[in-house]
Amino acid sequence: MLEVKVFNAPEAIQHFRSPNLGLEFEWHPGAKKVYLIRQNGTQRSGEAIAHDIENHGAAWNAVLIFQRGFRECQRAGALNAKV
């Protein structure tokens, strides 16, 4: 399930939450980037996961694609591997 907070201002930052995976994202329309800002309640440094994102639909799509890859890594055990 994906939750989205949308504000009325056209240049407002929009937040995407994925409670089942514990991920939170932000889309910055001015910068045209989507950032991963939180994982399992832990603040992240705001790594950009997508660039040149022109609209809300493209931002949502970038988040969904990231989530799919994240789930595949979890399933393969790559996220819990010790290096």
pLDDT in tens, the chain (83 residues): 666 665 555 578 888 988 888 899 999 998 999 999 998 888 888 889 999 999 989 999 999 999 999 988 888 886 665 54
CA distances for 48 relative to 9, 13, 25, 32, 77, angstroms: 22, 14, 9, 10, 23
Residue 56 lies in a domain: yes
Residue 36 lies in a domain: yes
Residue 65 lies in a domain: yes
Q: What is the pLDDT of residue 76?
A: 85
Residue 82 lies in a domain: no
Q: What is the pLDDT of residue 65?
A: 95
Q: What is the pLDDT of residue 80?
A: 66
Q: What is the pLDDT of residue 20?
A: 86
Residue 46 lies in a domain: yes
Domains held by the chain: number = 1
Residue 44 lies in a domain: yes
Max CA separation in the chain (angstroms):
45
Taking the C-alpha atoms of residue 69 and residue 33, their distance in angstroms, rounded to an integer, is: 18
